[in-house]
Amino acid sequence: MKILIIVDSLKYGGAEKQAVIDANSLIDCGHHVTIAYYKKGDLMKLLAKGVNQYQIKSKNLSLASLQIFFHLLLNRYDIVHSHMFWAEIISALPGKLTGHRVVFNEHGLELWRRWYHILIMKFASLFADKIITSCEATKEVRIKRGKLNKNKLLTIYNSFNIIKEEKREIYIPDFLNKKENFIIGFVGRFNQVKRLEIFIDVAEYLRNVIPKFKIVLVGDGKEKDKINREIENKNLGRYFYLPGYILNIGQYYKEFDVFVLPSIREACSIALLEAGASGIPAIAFDVGGNPEIIKDGITGFIIPNNDIALLIRKIIYFYKNNQKRYKMGLVARNYIKNKFSEAKRLYKLTNLYKER
């Protein structure tokens, strides 16, 4: 099959990373894949050899739609697979007018969407043959709030891929040595949704409980400077390490003892999948798709939203119970690799692509 994948950016982010994973998986199976994007970024380095790249010149919806229309007019694809709002909007009508089969991929809960975003999406969805949702929580929101046709919605979970990223060794600081420190890890964007300021409260409490620990926040974003300032103001610098965005993230997961995701909202977090696949138990709030990924008390802990005190108690529990932490990590690895594997997503995608 000849497939066009469209995404806003190849900088960083879960949805963007999933688009790259899909492109690579499809190429490995012998399909012809082109990935179209507006913004270049580090994720381009992960694209497999053979994935064609096509850059969209303007972020403007009208101009981008026009460019996609002429591209589709001149290049016949079997499937146009668009990830997230912007890509879906610019591909909907052009795909329909040029006789292409169009698939949308809705990733987040997108509670930021206002009434006009919802109307635009509802109109665009008329031209989509199918709408993939990244988890059941996303599907529920799209039906209830987005008023999308539930007959068009199909949940295909995100997948993980960390093994193929480990192409070279990367620098790991000596002070992350597990023999000396209990490592609390996070991977993701530095934005308000991730609620990273909670780690400040965690560090203030744990410094009186755990002799040696480090909180490793991997990622980048507009909130990073703010978090750094708060760490400095509270004199907590010795407990934190912020290495920035790491492409070969698998090397870092190996250093974590527990993974913590304090987000206000999440759909199907690829970071949670990667942590679980690395054998790391996770703690996350009971929001969005988190309970679909973490089996509470078995592969990690799901705790009531905003219950920071319980979050801290669970971190301490893992610190004090090494054997239990290790066993939960093994269960998490098997569970994630079975339910959220790249192969399982690829199988469902290709079956969907073949539908008529």
Complete domains list, the chain, with CATH: 2-159+341-354 (3.40.50.2000), 174-339 (3.40.50.2000)
Cβ atoms within 10 Å of 351's Cβ, excluding its own: 10
pTM: predicted TM-score of the whole model, two decimal places: 0.91
Measure CA 355 to chain center: 27
Query: 157, 158, 152: which is closest to 131 by C-alpha?
Result: 152
The answer to whether the CB of 240 falls within 8 A of the CB of 258 is no
Helix-, strand-, coil-residue percentages of the chain, each rounded to 5: 45, 20, 35
Mean pLDDT in consecutive groups of 10 residues from the start of the chain, 356 residues = 97 92 96 97 93 97 98 97 97 97 94 90 96 97 94 96 56 73 95 95 96 94 94 95 88 93 95 96 97 98 96 98 96 96 96 89
CA distance 272 to 48: 24
Which amino acid is present at 28? Answer: D
The DSSP output letter for 341 is -
Residues 6+ apart with CB under 8 A from 15: 7, 83, 84, 105, 107, 108, 134
